[in-house]
Amino acid sequence: MTFVKWAGIVFISLILFLILGIALINWNWVRDVAARQVSEKLGRTLIIQGNLSVDWSQTLHVRVEQIRLENVTWSKQPYMFELAALDFHIDLVELIKGRLIFPRVTLIKPRVILEKSYKGEPNWDLPLDFDVEFPLIKRLIIDDSHMVYRDLSTNTADITLTFSTIRAQVGDEENTKLHVHGKLNGKPLAIALNAGSWLALQQLEKPFPLALSVQASGNKVADEKALVILLQLKGYLSREENIWRFTNLDVQIGESDFSGSIRVDMGSKRLFVKANITSNKVNLSDFVSLIDFASNIKSEDSTSLAKKQEKRQEEANAVVLPRNNIGLESLQHIDADIRFRGNHVPSQVPVNNLKIQMLLDQGHLSLAIPDFDIASGKVQLRVELDVTKKPLKSKIEVEIRRVQLNEILRSLESSGENLGVIGGQGIFWFKGDSLADMLASADGGLLMIMDGGKLDALLVELSGLDVGESLVKLLGDREMVEINCIFLDLPTKNGVMNMDSLVVDTEDTLYLGKGSIDFAREQLHLVIDPRPKDLSLYSARAPLHIKGSFKAPSILPEASAILRGVASLALLPAAPIVGLIGLLSEKNKEHEDMRCSGFVNAINKARK
């Protein structure tokens, strides 16, 4: 036993002596060998001027100081990368098991310069092989980092980024701070990110705080040099196994605000997203600004070139409807249950009390808007998509109740005179992967009715066309025609929308419309024919013929368009009109005072 005891003491002494000898070795020779090997691998000189120190314990502690990587020859900056010190620990126990784990990595004052030359050559084009498993870093500390990005080829980017992991006081939790400032496409840009530590993000034992702010230049009306808030985001990120949650969500996009929670389940084969979002105000122009900002990240020259090519293509193309693929195939891999409530959407046509329910289940999308307030009325909308089918199948249902058309036109800076109340119901089925294909396959129909209004303003404002002399002849040289009621029936089959019944009832004339809209061929063939109630006015009314392509329609008074004798009050369907009148008034309220009620009586008399 004595021999074994002394043998053990000698063995342990030798091990301690060996560890002490290794610890006292001057490790700078390893530093020089590593620098030469990296230089040969990258084709650029790596300089390590500081000491390489190694501290042996349960975790191997290595510190390398004053590291520099040579830049490309065309750059004015001598170094692409500089680092005051690299300090890291390696878990020896895990290393013996074959796993490379860094309990802590510290980067002290890293300086990075990323540039593109005048010829578009990037200085970061290095022969690196990333086809390796990246080691686990449990704790990453970055102290006072500084990165610059410049694009000399287009002179569109000059951005400086600072990043650091800070702790206000001893014992406080670490926070991550990132700040970006500079110019993008010649306009100022500022981004600020405040979050928890890298370790907290990996473990997520408690909610991870996150705050992001993006500011860019104002619009042309304001001072373009002034920074305005594009995006602000605050909230807490947490994880429980494969379930991620973003709670206490507070997002501001321009003047629009959003709050709520998002839950993402990544544990099953299909990603599942559940969200409940509310908003007091949604300004659509804020999203336009955000999209413009995202698109401007690209080179201004390449963007403008793409726009010019797109414009030339549009001019050369005789069609109007978009034929590009909508691209919804990715929805097959995601399930979702998203609820949104928006109190106010201050667009040109303000929308209030907007509720959206979206369900996505194995490629079947159901989007329901139970009802929302618009122009003193209400609209209900339901959309269904089946992206598992090829081509894509879709369905749209809509109901319009007592919407004031004059409020819509007034918001569009039109005359906004008394243009009546509209109501309607519609349902359409589509097949196709583009908007053009969908409309070319449309089946269904739309019924609409309008009570009151003025005929000239209605035609001019809704069509957006200068019909000039044709409209004057249609109205019989009158500046304004008071409307009693308008009824429109648009049955649709195989992409052809037939105008079976268009009736405009005025005090002295019935305007009857017939024709079709062919979405597959993008052709119009519509006729509006006046039927004076007083025969003495018969010759004073000229029919209006709308024909030709969507791109270049013609609107002319033509005798060949006369439909007299083809349509009459006796042939008009009274039942659909009676059903639609209920959409022009509030529920449980009488509507005898409506002009369309008198129109129905006239139809019934004509049938006798």
Kindly write down the DSSP assignment for every residue of 321-383, as one continuous string. Answer: S--S----GGGGGEEEEEEEEEEEE-SSS-EEEEEEEEEEETTEEEEEEEEEEETTEEEEEEE
Q: Which pLDDT band holds residue 368 (cuts at 50, 70, 90)?
A: very high
Residue 103, classed as helix, strand or coil, is: coil
**pLDDT score of 373 more than 50:** yes
Query: What is the reported pLDDT for 460?
Result: 46
* Rounded Cα distance, 148 and 180, in Å: 10
* Rounded Cα distance, 544 and 475, in Å: 10
Region 184-193: mean pLDDT is 83
Q: At what angle do helices 455-463 and 468-475 cross, to 10 degrees?
A: 150
Residues 607 and 573: beta-carbon distance below 8 Å: no
Q: Which pLDDT band holds residue 15 (cuts at 50, 70, 90)?
A: very low
Which residues, at least 6 apart from 523, have a Cβ–Cβ distance to it below 8 Å?
Answer: 517, 547, 548, 549, 550
Q: What average pLDDT does the chain have?
A: 77
Region 408-416: mean pLDDT is 57
Q: Which pLDDT band holds residue 51 (cuts at 50, 70, 90)?
A: confident
* Rounded Cα distance, 54 and 44, in Å: 26
Residues 297-350 pLDDT 10s: 554 444 444 555 555 555 556 678 888 888 787 888 899 999 999 888 876 677
Query: What is the reported pLDDT for 357?
Result: 92
What's the angle, vertex CA 51, arms to CA 45 and CA 54, rounded to 5? 115
**pLDDT score of 360 more than 90:** yes
Query: What is the reported pLDDT for 608?
Result: 54
**Least confidently predicted of 35-44, 187-196, 262-271, 533-542:** 533-542
**pLDDT score of 405 more than 50:** yes
What DSSP state is assigned to residue 567? B
Q: Which pLDDT band holds residue 273 (cuts at 50, 70, 90)?
A: very high
Query: What is the reported pLDDT for 272?
Result: 93
Query: What is the reported pLDDT for 384?
Result: 94
Query: What is the reported pLDDT for 7?
Result: 41
Give 341 or 587, the one with higher predicted confidence. Answer: 341
- Tokens at 201, concatenated: 């993000």
**pLDDT score of 491 more than 60:** yes
* Rounded Cα distance, 40 and 530, in Å: 88
Residues 222-235 pLDDT 10s: 444 567 778 899 99
Query: What is the reported pLDDT for 473?
Result: 55
**Least confidently predicted of 342-351, 385-394, 503-512, 535-544:** 535-544
Query: Which residue shows structure tokens 């490379």?
Result: 100
Which residues, at least 6 apart from 343, have a Cβ–Cβ distance to it below 8 Å?
Answer: 278, 279, 280, 281, 352, 353, 354
* Rounded Cα distance, 569 and 581, in Å: 18
Residues 430-468 pLDDT 10s: 999 899 999 999 999 999 988 887 766 455 444 444 454
**pLDDT score of 471 more than 90:** no
- Tokens at 298, concatenated: 């690209």
Closest by Cα among 418, 365, 376 to 400: 376
Q: Which pLDDT band holds residue 113 (cuts at 50, 70, 90)?
A: very high
